[in-house]
Structure 1
Amino acid sequence: MWALRCHRFWSRWEQVAALLLLLLLLGVPPRSLALPPIRYSHAGICPNDMNPNLWVDAQSTCRRECETDQECETYEKCCPNVCGTKSCVAARYMDVKGKKGPVGMPKEATCDHFMCLQQGSECDIWDGQPVCKCKDRCEKEPSFTCASDGLTYYNRCYMDAEACSKGITLAVVTCRYHFTWPNTSPPPPETTMHPTTASPETPELDMAAPALLNNPVHQSVTMGETVSFLCDVVGRPRPEITWEKQLEDGENVVMRPNHVRGNVVVTNIAQLVIYNAQLQDAGIYTCTARNVAGVLRADFPLSVVRGHQAAATSESSPNGTAFPAAECLKPPDSEDCGEEQTRWHFDAQANNCLTFTFGHCHRNLNHFETYEACMLACMSGPLAACSLPALQGPCKAYAPRWAYNSQTGQCQSFVYGGCEGNGNNFESREACEESCPFPRGNQRCRACKPRQKLVTSFCRSDFVILGRVSELTEEPDSGRALVTVDEVLKDEKMGLKFLGREPLEVTLLHVDWACPCPNVTVSETPLIIMGEVDGGMAVLHPDSFVGASSARRVRKLREVMHKKTCDVLKEFLGLH
């Protein structure tokens, strides 16, 4: 029996050896006989294999990272997450052939020999067939990449994804940014025997305040798209550029080059890029260019709309009639009546459209989906010329001009290129001062500015209330206001909780009634009023904080109270 088994064993080896010899003679390499490696895994499938839109760790926690199924529980699988790694997650099951079966079952289709020619696309198995799809996830590390379309991307992956979504080809180019300026300096002196040492400081005659090369334009994009703004400025010495978004609570965050905040990036050439734009990204983005010769501010409006609103029509005349002018003068409706949404409203004092948080109370019509719709409805004339930035333009027929600088309150010289300028362009200082900030004989009041912003004013104040001014009495250099108190947010010295429904009398000190500050008027509009207590009286100074109440501002103040932020500010900033 043993001899029979041995004979069979050697017979099998002889067959294998003969087969190998035959394959060698035919020129087939032995390695082709190697069986495909079987990748053992837990039963079931990953959530994103069931539905491409179903990813694990939707809140970006990305905990319990793994490499293989063996690191997870028996009922779990190691699946891709939104952070670009893998996490252990409960397995899913489908009664579809090829999706469920023994461990290690090979797939019906593979991407081994399937090529995707479109830049930024990759192979994926969809409905049992290999298909090409655009990348939907990129790594989080910044590696700013300048592309042939003139944009700077967060990294190479984002550039490839943009090329795929548009069906085009983008190439990486060298990041170059040239500042041009007319050579108005005198010719160099004759060569001397002894070389002279250049002054490390820029000569005063060789300095020039910042000026724009191109006019800021409003952009409107659909949710999920990428948008960028380039603050194209010149000046000597080279201006430093910062960006900030104008927020309704005044707590703007300043961003400098190579700065990343959420989905907003400022590149190394000071280009502002917003990836995956959302509704709350809409607003006014302000570029500030500064050097020793001056400062310039330019506003870039951005509207973000949903896909079905991309071709939205103007709200200024929904039924062919003109939009009611009186509605444009009403304050923004910021009360909270349900879902909050970023909308635009016309600010008569700024003579421009700004964003605010709309609470769907519909108390007035001063709310719009886009900046353009707001301007069409409420802008009776062009923007005040004196508020526009100095604009050199792209042409090179250089000529000295003057422009009013709203930051310094003075007229300053700049070089005009000869084309594509704006209204803030005067041939002499006298002509500029005659027209700005307002034409002589037509003086208007400037906006009241509190001494500190919202949070700092709250911490410095003796009392903070929400209320409405019901009566106002003017007196020489002072005044009195009766305020119906809706809510007391802070009271350190007056015991306002015992006031009941009685109105609070507030004294206004040092008031110029031609242009009163703070701007307190009799109105049903709820206000946030912050002031001091002097001799038991509630007192407001010209720089006290008085502003329109909004759900966002009140929520911010409640957060300050809950987190005891004022205690921290008092300790580190010496607030009293």
Structure 2
Amino acid sequence: MHSSLKYPADQTLYTSLIIAHEGLCPNKLNSHLWVDAQSTCERECNVDEDCADFEKCCTNVCGLNSCVAARFSDGTPAQPGGQSAGNTSESNSTTTCDGFICSQQGATCDIWEGQPICKCRDRCEKDPNFTCASDGLTYFNRCYMDAEACIRGVTLTVVACRFYLAGPHTSPLPQDTTAHPTPTSSQEDPMPPTLFSNPHHQSIYVGGTVSFHCDIVGVPRPDVTWEKQNERRERLVMRPDQMYGNVVITNIGQLVVYNAQVWDTGIYTCIARNSAGVLHADYPLSVIRRAEDDFSEDPEMPMGRPFSPADCLAEVDQRVCSGERHVDWYYDSTLGNCQAFNNGGCEDSRNRFETYEECKASCQREGMGICSLPAVQGPCKSWEARWAWNMIMKECQAFVYGGCHGNANNFQTKNECEANCPQRKKRPCKTCRVKGKMVPSLCRSDFAIVGRLTELVEDLDSGLARFSLEEVLRDEKMGLTFFNTKHLEVTIAKIDWSCPCPNITMEENPLLVMGVVQDGMAIIQSDSYVKSITERRLKRLREGCQTTLRKL
């Protein structure tokens, strides 16, 4: 005899309790299906019980969890009441979505209780294809934009991701001129990269999402990359349409940090380049713990040592004093700004601040950082020519100012700019000497390239030179030709910047650069062969190489 089960009076409730949260997450059935309805990753959950009965708590695109409709092995979604759409009734086998139209953007037809209905998409493909929408947001791909439109019951359209300025109108239009005059050749003159708006510091809690938009204008269109400043010399160059852990660079040069952690604190530098120049813009980020984890205001804790202005000049404290490590800020007197560093738990450090704002207010005096600010055009359209100091090129450069929301690195004349910002002090220097003549130097070198200098980064006694490659003459260890490399970063070792050797600081023509490779890194030294190259000299070098090879 079978034992009998006692059902509660409300049998429907009992049934729903038994079958609640059945099924699987969509991406468990198909790895190409992702589950969240929007790129902002809302409707967060920890376990299935946080969701409705017919939903599961599944991983979303941000690395967190969201409530979504469960799926069954036949691919059908779960429905309220706990049944799979494929098993609600026998009439489902004959009911189809043929001819049933869903007018809402992002809605798709589904069968529920034998009837076709429109419902918002609950899954999107995993591959990124960042899409700019009319609501001002950038979505992970077109599917996420459509799903967001469906949830909000609105229509969203794809819009251009950038605002490009063909060129400034330097004078008002005459009365007999059309509203949109025909572009002239002067509007196509090269313009160095300029920021559309000022960079600013942002603070978020752990686990949050934050974005920095490097909104650049320039002619021709500047190429945008990102780097995060750190204590190590090497920096990862982050390029558009790529993901780097929990950091995404969109196709419009926007940097997005998902599920931010304390170690994401730091300064993210946007680098924009075109044929007319290069621009650096720093975007500070602070990732802080929530109030319950913050004991900085505990009245029982002893007060720290009093602050002295001399603390700003102290070296950063690299000691390890305890097992607890966290990210703090220090003032870099060489660079003239605040930088993040890993604090090893040493509470008696002099040059240490818990927040970027505290560091900036304590050490960065008014006027000290003016010349390091990027040129900012601003959103207004009262165009006028202005001058700004370029920290990379070490000179004053002209740019187009819109008339509002600029910054202090904005001067009406070149003379005013040069009077307020540092110039390179020139003094007679000895001629740089190389080890040997051109062809023998080539034979001794690990690499030899012909390229144009695009950027020069100076440090105390070293530096970095970035080249746009035009020709690879010799490459023994890096595979430049095999990988079709277009740009090369070369480390300059042991250099005196007051009289630099090799002297590549003032060169605008293509350079012939020969050097060595150590641990996969291209290096040039004070006696390396670095000179401007002409077609005649390049031809002689090729002939010399062929003669040398025949002798071998």
TM-score (norm: length of structure 2):
0.51
- Once the two structures are TM-superposed, the CA of residue 407 in structure 1 deviates from its matched residue by 0.7
Query: Corresponding residue for 1:25?
Result: none
Query: Corresponding residue for 2:168?
Result: 182
**Matching of residue 141 in structure 1 with residue 153 in structure 2:** no
Query: Corresponding residue for 1:401?
Result: 386
1:329 and 1:339 mapped to 2: Cα distance?
Answer: 25
Letter in 2 for 1:327: D
Letter in 2 for 1:448: L
2:378 and 2:385 mapped to 1: Cα distance?
Answer: 13
1:183 and 1:386 mapped to 2: Cα distance?
Answer: 27
**Matching of residue 329 in structure 1 with residue 280 in structure 2:** no
CA gap 1:277/1:149 in 2 versus in 1, 3 angstroms? farther
2:205 and 2:313 mapped to 1: Cα distance?
Answer: 29
Letter in 1 for 2:157: V
CA gap 1:225/1:406 in 2 versus in 1, 3 angstroms? same
* Native 8 Å contact 1:151 1:228 kept in 2: no
State the SS of the aligned residue for 1:276.
coil
Stretch of structure 1 that moved more, 319-328 or 423-432: 319-328
1:420 and 1:83 mapped to 2: Cα distance?
Answer: 38
Residue of 265, 279, 287 corresponding to 2:270 = 287
- Once the two structures are TM-superposed, the CA of residue 256 in structure 1 deviates from its matched residue by 2.0
After TM superposition, the structure 1 = structure 2 runs for residues 492-507 of structure 1, keeping only pairs within 5 Å, are: none
**Matching of residue 265 in structure 1 with residue 277 in structure 2:** no
Letter in 2 for 1:381: E
* Native 8 Å contact 1:314 1:373 kept in 2: no
Query: Corresponding residue for 1:230?
Result: 213
Residue of 339, 342, 346 corresponding to 1:354 = 339
* Native 8 Å contact 2:169 2:383 kept in 1: no
1:303 and 1:162 mapped to 2: Cα distance?
Answer: 29
Query: Corresponding residue for 2:94?
Result: none
- Once the two structures are TM-superposed, the CA of residue 510 in structure 1 deviates from its matched residue by 8.9
* Native 8 Å contact 1:397 1:418 kept in 2: yes
Q: Which runs of 5+ in 2 are unaligned?
A: 1-14, 23-44, 49-55, 62-78, 86-104, 107-120, 174-182, 426-457, 466-493, 504-516, 529-552
* Native 8 Å contact 1:240 1:290 kept in 2: yes
State the SS of the aligned residue for 1:254.
coil
- Once the two structures are TM-superposed, the CA of residue 112 in structure 1 deviates from its matched residue by 7.6
2:495 and 2:168 mapped to 1: Cα distance?
Answer: 49
After TM superposition, the structure 1 = structure 2 runs for residues 89-168 of structure 1, keeping only pairs within 5 Å, are: 110=82, 140-155=126-141
Residue of 400, 410, 432 corresponding to 1:425 = 410
CA gap 1:341/1:411 in 2 versus in 1, 3 angstroms? same
1:394 and 1:226 mapped to 2: Cα distance?
Answer: 26
- Once the two structures are TM-superposed, the CA of residue 349 in structure 1 deviates from its matched residue by 1.8
Letter in 2 for 1:356: F
State the SS of the aligned residue for 1:244.
strand
Stretch of structure 1 that moved more, 218-227 or 335-344: 335-344
CA gap 1:573/1:387 in 2 versus in 1, 3 angstroms? closer
- Once the two structures are TM-superposed, the CA of residue 428 in structure 1 deviates from its matched residue by 1.7
Query: Corresponding residue for 1:278?
Result: 261
Q: CA RMSD in A?
A: 5.3
TM-score (norm: length of structure 1):
0.49
**Matching of residue 253 in structure 1 with residue 236 in structure 2:** yes
After TM superposition, the structure 1 = structure 2 runs for residues 146-545 of structure 1, keeping only pairs within 5 Å, are: 146-155=132-141, 172-176=156-160, 177-180=162-165, 181-183=167-169, 206-308=189-291, 323-336=307-320, 337-437=322-422, 447-451=459-463
Query: Corresponding residue for 1:530?
Result: none
1:157 and 1:383 mapped to 2: Cα distance?
Answer: 48
- Once the two structures are TM-superposed, the CA of residue 261 in structure 1 deviates from its matched residue by 1.0
State the SS of the aligned residue for 2:358.
helix
CA gap 1:284/1:510 in 2 versus in 1, 3 angstroms? closer
Residue of 507, 520, 523 corresponding to 1:569 = 520
* Native 8 Å contact 1:352 1:383 kept in 2: no
- Once the two structures are TM-superposed, the CA of residue 234 in structure 1 deviates from its matched residue by 1.4
State the SS of the aligned residue for 2:291.
helix
**Greater CA radius of gyration, 1 or 2?**
1
Letter in 2 for 1:433: E
* Native 8 Å contact 1:314 1:376 kept in 2: no
CA gap 1:137/1:343 in 2 versus in 1, 3 angstroms? farther
CA gap 1:183/1:354 in 2 versus in 1, 3 angstroms? same
CA gap 1:341/1:313 in 2 versus in 1, 3 angstroms? closer
Letter in 1 for 2:221: R
State the SS of the aligned residue for 2:255.
strand
* Native 8 Å contact 2:215 2:253 kept in 1: no
CA gap 1:138/1:310 in 2 versus in 1, 3 angstroms? farther
CA gap 1:430/1:304 in 2 versus in 1, 3 angstroms? same
- Once the two structures are TM-superposed, the CA of residue 360 in structure 1 deviates from its matched residue by 0.4
- Once the two structures are TM-superposed, the CA of residue 264 in structure 1 deviates from its matched residue by 1.1
- Once the two structures are TM-superposed, the CA of residue 323 in structure 1 deviates from its matched residue by 3.4
- Once the two structures are TM-superposed, the CA of residue 307 in structure 1 deviates from its matched residue by 1.9
* Native 8 Å contact 1:213 1:233 kept in 2: yes
- Once the two structures are TM-superposed, the CA of residue 357 in structure 1 deviates from its matched residue by 1.0
Deviations 1:438-467 (A, max 9, x none): 699xxxxx85142469xxxxxxxxxxxxxx
